[in-house]
Amino acid sequence: MTGGGSAYGALKDALLAVRGAHIVWVGPAARAPTMDCDEVVDLAGRWVTPGLVDCHTHLVYAGSRAREFEQRLGGATYESIARAGGGIASTVRAVRAASEDELVRESTPRLERLMAEGVTTVEIKSGYGLDANTECRMLRAARTLAATRQVRVVTTFLGAHALPPEAHGDRDAYIASVCAQQLPAVAAEGLADAVDAFCEGIAFSPEQVRKVFEAAAAYRLPVKLHAEQLSEQGGAALAAEFSALSADHLEHVSETSVAAMAGAGTVAVMLPGAFYFLRDTALPPIDAFRRHDIPMAVATDCNPGSSPLTSLLLAMNMACTLFRMTPEEALAGTTRHAAKALGLGDEIGTLEPGKRCDLAIWDIDHPSELAYGMGHNPLHRRVFGGIG
Ligand code: DI6
Ligand code: FE
């Protein structure tokens, strides 16, 4: 998946050498230098890709929103449910009532389902606490999930996700508390690797998000943004102004904002699971991303309201069937470009000397099969930091 060369950057009859947690050599076996190896593993012609990276999830939460799904099928919309005090706010009630242990217990099967498909790095956001204590508890639960498993969890503080009931409609005052109370508490415990916000008519305006981004900058935390998911707000341009790691969703992004993202090196994160589940019809401008040479990532957006999806392979399939991305773009979207969306492009996402030895080993004849299958898991074996 190094890009620029052959399709998928594929190597045939290859050899990959590992020392400790890192790749030290990779290339055609016939050209390998003489190496003194403790162990040699013959993968019998299987394909090896970088371990998959799910760069946008909200997988730590409590409860279910299946009843809301029923309401939507009866005619309610995602936005009308949110405005009536359901939606994100109902998950906030469930998360505030859950202990850290309960959050870990409820979230574990979701993480394990991702891992079972070769995922070795997962981003997890807070955003269902909306007060300092509960936001910290969610992020601690996310870190705890990784502590006992062969997976890396990257955490994101999303205090500016929705307005909690106790804010009584005062969005500016709530944003002030995100910046002056929640973020300092999160940063004091070192619980977040980045800061995100939801820029939307039912959430926060670009001016309010700007305050959050300025506070993040004061803590030297990188930013990313839920931008132009349901309507055009100018969030992607704001993200670019702050050199955001990524702008995510982007169904309604304008060409001018796409150009701004290109200049800033901001990754476009495609979330076809939410598009599918909300039966959205506005397609993200894939051709504009291609023309502007913007790296496109693909993620599950795993969350109880808009994308109860725990299959990154199915997200890849949807990126192809719904958004018309190619299978190769979809795989780059869950490896090299997803790594870049997390600011980890130097550590993971390709198979190159110096990178971590996070691998997914597949029972497939060609990598296009990874995006092709639906409900089919061809993973043979998973390696995390050289172990597995
Ligand atoms: N956009 C989304 O798709 C999720 N959050 C966001 O800002 C939805 C979260 C939810 O409905 O629980
Ligand atoms: Fe999301």
Task: Check residue 134 and give its pLDDT.
Answer: 98
pLDDT band at 99, cuts 50/70/90? Answer: very high
Which ligand ends up closest to the CA of 68? 1
Which residue's C-alpha comes closest to atom 10 of ligand 1? 305
Q: Is 156 in the pocket of ligand 1 (CB under 6 A)?
A: no
Q: Is the pLDDT of residue 103 over 90?
A: yes
Q: Is 198 in the pocket of ligand 1 (CB under 6 A)?
A: yes
Please tell me whether the overall predicted TM-score, pTM, comes out greater than 0.85 for this model. Answer: yes
Q: Is 226 in the pocket of ligand 1 (CB under 6 A)?
A: yes
Q: Report the pLDDT averaged over residues 361-384.
A: 97
Can you tell me which residue has the tokens 């929640």? 182
Q: Is 306 in the pocket of ligand 1 (CB under 6 A)?
A: yes
Q: Is the pLDDT of residue 156 over 90?
A: yes
> pLDDT tens across 200-246, in order?
998 999 999 999 999 999 999 999 999 999 999 999 999 999 999 99
Task: Check residue 83 and give its pLDDT.
Answer: 87
> pLDDT tens across 104-153, in order?
999 999 999 999 999 999 999 999 999 999 999 999 999 999 999 999 99
CA distance 28 to 135: 48
Going by C-alpha positions, the residue among 273, 279, 347 that lies closest to residue 114 is 273
Is 329 in contact with 282 (CB distance < 8 Å)? Answer: no
Cβ neighbors of 262 (< 8 A, separation 6 or more) are 292, 293, 294
- pLDDT above 90 covers what percent of the chain? 97
Which residue's C-alpha comes closest to atom 3 of ligand 1? 306
